[in-house]
Amino acid sequence: MNIALSLLHALKAHGAREIFGIPGDFALPFFRIVEESGVLPLYTLSHEPGIGFAADAAARFNGALGVAAVTYGAGALNMVNPVAGAYAERSPLVVISGAPGAAEVRSGMLLHHQVKTTDSQFAIYREITCAQTRLDDPATAPAEIARVLGACREQSRPVLIEVPRDAVALPCAPVRPAAPAAYDREAVEACAGEILARLAAAARPTLLVDIEVRRYGLEARVAELAHRLAIPVVTTFMGRGLLAEAAVPVAGTYLGVAGEPAVTALVEDSDCLLMLGVLLSDTNFGVSGRQIDLRKAVYAADRQVQIGFHHYPDLPLGALVEALLALVSDLDPPEPRLR
């Protein structure tokens, strides 16, 4: 087992089904092991943005990690746009980049594809990924791979893994999966109780769902929750199509002044808007007839929940949905509160 093989097996264990890539000199040792090992199939294209978009699409379609492999500098920097898009839209994309070897970095020479320093690429990717690592030490590589891939799945955002070309074949232990990020179960239960109390007291509650529900594979559980709560369900523009195959009536897609007035009223007139996995973006709310009053809303996204002036940090959306279901699972579904 070496660093490259440890990484490939870890990717597969985390649900990756293939690699999209373009070989380049700094990444050739890695690509050679990819092809010889057969751990994951490799699909090559002719332009790095296409690689990034293909891997992003695979992540969204499969509900698993998408993997893009490119060379250092000219390859990875040419993927900034698709990686930034994946970050903005919560897509779990793994970018694997070749990198100069230790002796090359120490030489002091300006290397081809280098920008300002040999760390420039790494610094740029800090802005568009949720975790980064450089696998230059076999002793720490397994833990680093586990950390970064775990962050990719838990945050549903891109990550960067640089593999120096002189480190690819270094002996390395297999990767042990990292433990899921800890969260306070009592806080989750308290949060769920507060949400249900608000919904029960509301005259015009509405459930608004968006892309995090899909990214975390929660459609079936959210559909069950919607069925139990029996309140109107609306999707955002970015979340259109959510719950389409569930036995839950979806009122429509919220488009503000550009949408159906009845659907717009469900969102804008709600006195308890339960927003699950919603991005507060201009794409979703830029055409709102009026500002959504978040003091009357419950906002659950990006591993946090805001209920009026109450804030619950480090709270996974999936854990919240399960806690809500646990509280309502023994209740008979009430009559739908359509209006």
DSSP class per residue in 97-120: EEE--HHHHHT-PPPTT--SSTTH
Consecutive 10-residue averages of pLDDT for the chain (339 residues): 98 98 96 98 97 98 97 96 98 97 75 83 98 98 97 97 97 91 94 97 97 96 95 95 89 92 94 96 78 88 94 96 92 56
Given a contact cutoff of 8 angstroms between Cβ atoms, the answer to whether 95 and 79 are in contact is: yes
Q: Which pLDDT score is estimated for 254? A: 95
CA 303, CA 75: separation in Å to the nearest integer?
32
pLDDT at 84: 99
Alpha-carbon span 129 to 251, nearest angstrom: 35
CATH number of the domain at 3-164, out of 1.20.1090.10, 3.40.605.10, 3.40.1390.10, 3.40.50.970? 3.40.50.970
Query: Does the fold of domain 186-328 match that of domain 3-164?
Result: yes
Q: CA 293, CA 299: separation in Å to the nearest integer?
A: 11
Q: Which CATH class is domain 186-328?
A: alpha beta
pLDDT at residue 58 in the model: 98
Domain residue spans in the chain?
A: 3-164, 186-328
Q: How many other CB atoms are found less than 10 A from the CB of residue 241?
A: 12
Max intra-chain CA distance, the chain: 73
